[in-house]
Amino acid sequence: MQMAIIEKRKNPEKNEKLIEVFGLNVRKYRLERNMTQKDLADLCEVDTITISRIERNISNTTISTIAIIANALGATAAQLLEE
């Protein structure tokens, strides 16, 4: 069982793709709502740099932050993670 978990972690391509999809969707939803990165950051109570890093696919964020961002954008976490 433990070995299966370790093996799953060895596939960074999946993680990178998910991070990219999330970042692109955050940007898309934010722009559709005519929000700046600062507007979104303020609603989420995070730094503007956090939103910038997410949108540029630099940051692998937490589930909690995904939920907060989704709520601020009027979307679901699933929508933000959908290709």
Q: What would the mean pLDDT of 10-36 be, rounded to a whole number?
A: 91
Q: Domain limits of the chain?
A: 19-81
Instruction: Using pLDDT thresholds of 50, 70 and 90, give the confidence band for residue 10.
Output: low
d(CA 65, CA 8): 23
Determine the pLDDT at residue 1. 43
pLDDT in tens, 50-72: 999 999 999 999 999 999 999 99
CATH superfamily of 19-81: lambda repressor-like DNA-binding domains (1.10.260.40)
Residues in CB range of 46: below 8 A, 6 or more apart: 65, 68
How high is the pLDDT of residue 15? 87
**What's the confidence (pLDDT) of residue 13?**
73
- pTM for the model stands at 0.84
